[in-house]
Amino acid sequence: MSEQHDELRWRDGAAPIEGLAQTLVAYSRQGASDAELARLRAALSPQLARPTSHAPNGELGWSSMARLGTWVSVALLGAAAVWNMIRPDAEPVASLGRRSPAPVVAPRAAPLPDVIDVTDAPSVPLSTAGTVPPRTLEGPSARKAKPAAPELALAPAPAAAPALSVEAELELLRKAQSALNHSASTALALASEHAQLYPNGAFAEEREMLRIEAELTLGHRRSALERAKAFSERFGRSTYRARIERLLGAHEALEDREASSADRTY
Amino acid sequence: MTSARSVDPASVPVEQPAAGACAAVDDIDFTAVFRDFGAYVPGLLRRLGVAEREVEDVAQDVFTVIHRQLPGFRGDSTLKTWVCGVTLRVARSHLRLARVRKLVLGEPATEPSQAPPQLESAVLAERVRMLQRALEELSHEQRRVFVLYELEELSMRDIARLLACPEKTAYTRLHAARQNVERAIRRRLALGGEL
């Protein structure tokens, strides 16, 4: 592998300090532990089951899967919330949705949050007696669960909109989400409408995430950053924060690429 | 779709094949790549500076990209160089995220890497930790070159191609990195450490 004109490596005798060559060799040989490798293998089981990808560019990318994951999550949350409100033998609701089964393709292909704060769910009695049993946390998804966060982050629900308004709230958010695919400005307008109608709605987190994404799409980076900070302060334990970081990071990467496109050498 | 606004495996660019690349290498499948590099990639991610708590997730992203891009691997480099290239690009995206995290959310950009307890002696483990701390002091650019050259033993030509910079630039970074690593280690030795 080494080219003839390459300089002598430290590990091959050029190290300026005694013992450094041995240290370099030892460090270069460090890999995953057996347990780590087993978890990685489990997480990649869909790919290992399909070892040859013949459609490298035709598959759903992470972004689309993430959006699908968001939407599936929202839909499940909505369905669960509505069902728990209208079914005759309704039990108190807690920890909706985030303990749902793993995402569609791979455990982290569309990382869904593990716990939702339903702090503002309208007029639904809340308790820790959830109707959705907690998922057994295994593999990488389990690592995403923040240990410091309580299992259920519930707060007394303020007197708010009528119970079934969750359905209308969800419908409005669905429209906003759908609009994001073709018109970020429309998505932003719908999300703003949602914010006016349901400032503390059950899907306030999702709405704020959508607004950040729409603003980034529109190039309103400063506004998106401010909203991200506000989100962080308001939903400090939200696992959506990781996704927001990805969005902002990707936007920065895009700007980096654009800035350096003039002198790219590959 | 609303464009690539999330740093994710799908956003990682496909490595451009060199001029005169050979035909696609058909007999390498993902299972074989994972068998040969499953343990290697997490180690490389740590050496490149990915935070300990994120190594497994980032490794999963690396292999997701490998799975998607493997049909495009043309054998114009060794498989190890190609895997290193994918790992490098995914790691760079995640390290960029760490900067954003620090900027926006006020969280620490990185955390010290930890050597997995698999070294034969405590002395060697301590030496590795000293080396790790020296690497933490390098810029990302210097660290990449140092790691790829001194630890992964890639050729400088391959490194320059992976980093999309002239070979001379890569050498300049290597020399600067060597100076900084040596200085950092000597400083620690002077404070009573052992190597």
- How confident is the model over B126-139, as pLDDT tens digits? 889 999 999 999 99
CA distance B93 to chain A (A): 8
What integer pLDDT is reported at residue B107 of this predicted model?
56
Percent of chain A with pLDDT over 70: 50
B165/A62 Cβ within 8 A: no
Q: Which of B2, B6, B56 shows the shortest C-beta gap to A246? A: B6
The yes/no answer to whether this complex scores an ipTM above 0.85 is: no
B77: Cβ contacts below 8 Å, ≥ 6 apart: B18, B85, B158, B161
pTM: 0.53
Contact criterion met (CB < 8 Å) for A264 and B6: no
Nearest residue to A74 (alpha-carbon basis) of A109, A106, A110, A43: A110
| CATH number, span B116-195 | 1.10.10.10
- Asked if A69 contacts A110 with a C-beta cutoff of 8 angstroms, the reply is yes
pLDDT digits (tens, 9 = 90+) for B50-100: 988 889 989 999 999 999 999 888 888 899 999 999 999 999 888 876 666
Which pLDDT value is given to residue B37? 96
| Mean pLDDT, rounded, for A205-214 | 87
What pLDDT is recorded for position A126? 30
Tell the residue number behind the tokens 């650019």, with chain if given: B141
Which alpha helices (H) appear in A44-164, and where do they start and end? 45-49, 62-86, 139-144
Whether A32 and B70 lie within 8 Å, measured CB to CB: no
CA B181 vs. chain centroid, Å, equals 17
Test B8 with A265 for CB contact under 8 angstroms. no
Residue A46: which residues within 8 A CB-CB, separation 6 or more?
A105, A106
**Chain A residue numbers touching B189 (CB-CB < 8 A):** 17
Higher per-residue confidence, B12 vs B161: B161
A254 band by pLDDT with thresholds 50, 70 and 90: low
Considering the four listed CATH numbers 1.10.1740.10, 3.30.70.980, 1.10.10.10, 1.20.1270.360, the one that applies to the domain covering B23-114 is 1.10.1740.10
Position A68 pLDDT exceeds 90: no
* For residue A71, pLDDT beyond 60: no
- Tell me what the pLDDT averaged over chain A comes to: 63
| Mean pLDDT rounded to a whole number for chain B | 81
For a pLDDT cut of 90, what percent of chain A falls above it? Answer: 14
Question: What are the extents of the domains in chain B?
Answer: 23-114, 116-195
Name the residue of chain B whose CA is nearest to A44's CA.
Answer: B60
Q: Residue A244: its pLDDT value, please?
A: 81
Q: Do domains B23-114 and B116-195 have the same CATH topology?
A: no
Answer yes or no: is pLDDT of B8 > 80. Answer: no
Q: Indicate if the pLDDT at residue A116 is higher than 50.
A: no
